[in-house]
Structure formats: C-alpha cells, structure tokens
Amino acid sequence: MSNWPPDYRKEYIKRINLLNACAESRARRDALMLHYAHNPIDWINDWAITYDPRVVDPLPKTMPFMLFRRQAEFVQFLHGCVSDKECGLVEKSRDVGATWLCCAYSVWLWLFTPGASVGWGSRKEILVDRIGDTDSIFQKMRQLLDNLPAWMLPPGFSLRSHATYMKIINHMNGATIMGESGDSIGRGGRSMVYFKDESAHYERPELIEASLGDNTDVQIDISSVNGTANVFYRKRMAGELWEPDKTPVKGKTRVFILDWKDHPGKTQGWYDQRRTKAESEGLLHIFAREVDRDYAASLDRIIIPARLIKAAIDAHLKLGFGDDGKKIAALDVADEGGDKNALAIRHGVVLTFADHWGEGDTGETARRAVRQTQAGGCTELYYDCIGVGAGVKGETNRLSGEGLIPKTLKIYPWNAASGPDQPDARLIPDDINTPKNGDFFQNLKAQAWWSLYIRFEKTYKAVTQGVKYDPAELISLPSSLPLLHDIERELSQATQSQNGKGKMVVDKKPQGGRSPNLADAIVMCFMPVREFGPGMGLFEVYKEQYEATKGAKGVV
C-alpha cells in the first residue's frame, strides 16, 4: 500500500462481504482457516484491527489493520525468526505500528499454532497489562480478539474467562500468551518466542538476558533507541540487517529497521513540523532518539553530532560544487573479535565509496583494497599500519615487486598512535591565542577526528546558514551511498575527553559500542598524513622525496 490514508470504506465492504460469505459456508470457513494457518500477513490484512485514540470524529478510532509494504515485510521478518528459531531485533521510530504488529502476530500464533507459548515483557507492569488501557500490550491483544468473528475463536472462548490479567489462554489447542515486567522478565517458564517491548530502556537488562537465555530460543527486542550503553545497542551492532530476499546469517540476531519514512502517511512536512516543535520546546534530543533513531542523541561529548552529518548529505549538490580534485583512498584493517575491514574513497571532498567486510587474511584484505582503489582511479592509498595492519605492508611490497601495482598509485602507512601533525602549528592558524596542535591533541587519531569535525561544522553552516567557505574545507556524503545509514551512525559514535595532561583523547567505542571501521577509514581518507614511523623505513622516505623532486632545478 502506497496511498495514505487507505480507503477504509472499501476495506469495510471487503470485510463485510467476507463475513457474509463465511456465514453461508462452513467449508469456506474451514478452507480460509487452513490458508491463514500458513499466512499471517493475509490473516492480519483480512481480520486484524488497530486503535488510535487521536483520530478525530467522525472517523472511528478502531479501524481495519491494513498493512503497508514495510509492515508486511516486518510480519515476514517475525515469522522467519520464529520458524528458524533465531533472535530478532527491531530498531524503530515512534508511531510506526511495531508493537501492534507484534501483538497481531502473537494472536495469530495463539490461534493457529497448537501449544504455542508466547511471552511478553516490558520495563513496567502497567505497560504490559492494564485492563481497559489501550496503551498496554495485553489490552491491544484483547481488542484484536474482541473484533474477531465468533467462529474463528476457540469454542466457548470468552475474554472474561480466558483473557485475564497478563494471561491469554487457548483452551482448545493449549496455546498461551503470558506477560511479565521488569526484573521478572524470563522467570515464567519456557516460551516459543518472547517479545521484549522497549528493551533499550530496561534498568537491569543483563539480569533479564540471563533469565531468558535458558527459557526461549527466540527473543524479539523491540525498541526506540536509547544511547549506546545498553544491551539493546550491543545486540544491534552485533546483528545483521534483514532483507526480504536475502538468506539470513545463521546464529546472528536479525535486525529490522522500521523508520518513520517507511510509513506512507508520514511526509517530510510532518517530519519538519514535529522537529520544529521539539526544537522550540527544548526536546530536540528526544526527537532525535525517537524519530531519527539517533543513538548519539543521548550521549555527552560527541565529537561529530548527528545534525552536522545530516547537513552534509548531498552537500555538493546543495552548495553547487563538484567532486573534482584528487582521488584518495584509506583502508582500516580489521582487528580480531568480529571486527571488519573498511575502505573509503573520496574524490576531492565528496565521499564516493565506502564498504566494509569481515575480517580475514591481511594479504587478501590488501589485494581487495588495491583492486578497488585502482578501479576507483585513486592515486593514493593510506592504510592503518598499527597491529595487524602491518601485514598490509608486506603484501603491497610483494605486489609492487611483481609489477601488479601501477607507479601512479602510492601507498602510505597511517599511524593513529603517532604524534599530531605539525605539532607546533596553532589549532587555529595564525591565532596565537589558541593552543598548539602538540598541546591540544594526544595523538594523530584525536587530531584527525577533530579535523573531520571542523569539515562537518563548516559544511553545516554553509548549508543551513549560507556561510561561504572554500569547498576544499567542506565534506559531502552522497545520499546514494549504500551504507549511508551505517556511516552516519559510526561518525557520530566517537566521544572526546581530556587526559591527565589536558590533551584531547578519542573514545571510538563508548560502553557497548563496536569499532567504527567505516568512520575510521573516512577519518584517514580526509586527513592523509604521511609520517615516518611503523611501516615506512628511512630508505622509503628518502626515495619518495627524491622521486618528488627529480628533475627540479638543482637536484641531481
């Protein structure tokens, strides 16, 4: 469904006709029930309802549940998790129907899966069940049941007897839906699937994980975001994004993103109005968390705030500058423990390529990076030479010795732990009132992240305030980049603090975070410093200087 609002009148007519047809024929009812037993999406579209107390008369507040495309994919995602006995995680914006969808799927399991045991939990008891309160999870499921035809329900079923507080029982097939809250989540016995609503907001999530780990094979975490220092964030980062036509990775949490843009009724105008209101009330950080799904919104000392990154998307189109200039690449080499390699390429100040892949042999990593760099027409490739990155040096030397790297491509090591570039220069050039680089930054890593922040800050002012800058000082992230969402998230992850000497240090992995490899590659790419250090011997430094000056006057 792409049109919004949907044609409810047409849907009511369809459902009335379906009811009448089923009333006339027991065989038709039996055939439909057999079909629905294997098709939860069709069952929801034909029979489920949703409720919105904000609807203004004369429209009814209870209305048919008519799934738009992304909602149907979400039901497909849930069904796949349960069928394959794999855990899932739903990262959602507010008000996109995620909880209602999980409630509808729970009722479908309860109706059509004999012996199904469905668990539900949230941080507070009143959020799980409060009789008559449609904001509570179990009341939503009671409404779903109350709007089904009697012949679809178990014979003799009544809400009063079989849908009591935090418990819904199918006395005919043995299926149950049970509720728990707070630290008690996971204590109620084994479940086929357990839904954890707003799980990024639990007070003691590790305790809940320990309880559920022995009681269910399938946990479905549903939540808006709440910073990075929680189990939900760690699961999100460790998981794999689910796609409708892609075979999921076994043993990894499947991640489904339900964004406000997926809702056909939420336009850019809706977003702008909501954002303006939140900003006027001093609640922009809440808006960023719950609508933009910005994990960094609740963190302090973020180096590159998300709003700056948003402004840089398609900045070259907004400001009318091209992607001319050098083509430079940077490779961040994966450490152990599930880390990833990452390669970034820029043309001038426009990031034209960014990709990451699983860790592996550094030789293959080097070869893959060289192939992509050559294909991108780059003249320089910088690589992280610390730790396992040192292996890239040996492989690129071998490739050069065999003539497999053209002379037009220069490869340089980049040492994040080395001292700042131009340590005696001022933080703001020619301003003696600002500290020297060597006094302000602990190392090159801190300086490079700060340098990238300055690019984003200037780009933000150029885009939003019309301030004029040399395009060479800016940065642009094309909206066509396939991994743009990951790039945005990683760039706004790193935080800054001061060490005992008052120098800036960078924490790329706040508690619960993973190494932002894409962001590290971009940081290197936009500060291509050549330094004499690990991976670059004195002979190579002198040789490079000689090649650069060969033919100049006075050079033999």
Instruction: Work out the percent of the chain whose per-residue pLDDT is above 70.
Output: 89
Residue 334's pLDDT is: 84
Whether residue 280 is contained in a domain is answered as: no
Q: Do 23 and 151 belong together in one domain?
A: yes
Whether residue 145 is contained in a domain is answered as: yes
For residues 23 and 29, what is the distance between their CA atoms, to the nearest angstrom? 8
Output the CA angle 430-434-438, nearest 5 degrees: 95
Question: 330, 382 in Cβ contact below 8 A?
Answer: yes
Whether residue 2 is contained in a domain is answered as: no
Counted residue by residue, the chain has a size of: 556
Higher-pLDDT residue of 222, 393: 222
Residue 393's pLDDT is: 82
Alpha carbon distances (Å) from 440 to 138, 307, 436, 453, 456: 56, 25, 6, 15, 20
Residue 195's pLDDT is: 96
| Cα of 304 vs its chain's centroid, Å | 17
For residues 330 and 354, what is the distance between their CA atoms, to the nearest angstrom? 10
Strand segments, DSSP code E, in 289-375 are 327-332, 340-347, 350-358
Whether residue 80 is contained in a domain is answered as: yes
Residue 123's pLDDT is: 85
Q: Do 324 and 182 belong together in one domain?
A: no
Question: 181, 86 in Cβ contact below 8 A?
Answer: no
For residues 252 and 358, what is the distance between their CA atoms, to the nearest angstrom? 14
Residue 299's pLDDT is: 53
Output the CA angle 448-234-293, nearest 5 degrees: 75
For residues 388 and 69, what is the distance between their CA atoms, to the nearest angstrom? 44
User: What are residue 103's phi and psi, to 5 degrees?
Assistant: -65, -45
For residues 13 and 117, what is the distance between their CA atoms, to the nearest angstrom? 35
- Token pair recorded at residue 131: 């009789």
Q: Who contacts 348 (Cβ-Cβ below 8 Å, separation ≥6)? A: 322, 323, 324, 325, 326, 471, 472
Domain of residue 114 covers: 8-262
Q: Do 252 and 315 belong together in one domain?
A: no
Q: How many domains is the chain built from?
A: 2
Residue 162 has pLDDT above 90, yes or no: yes
Residue 16 has pLDDT above 80, yes or no: yes
Whether residue 124 is contained in a domain is answered as: yes
- Token pair recorded at residue 28: 């038709």
CATH number at residue 154: 3.40.50.300
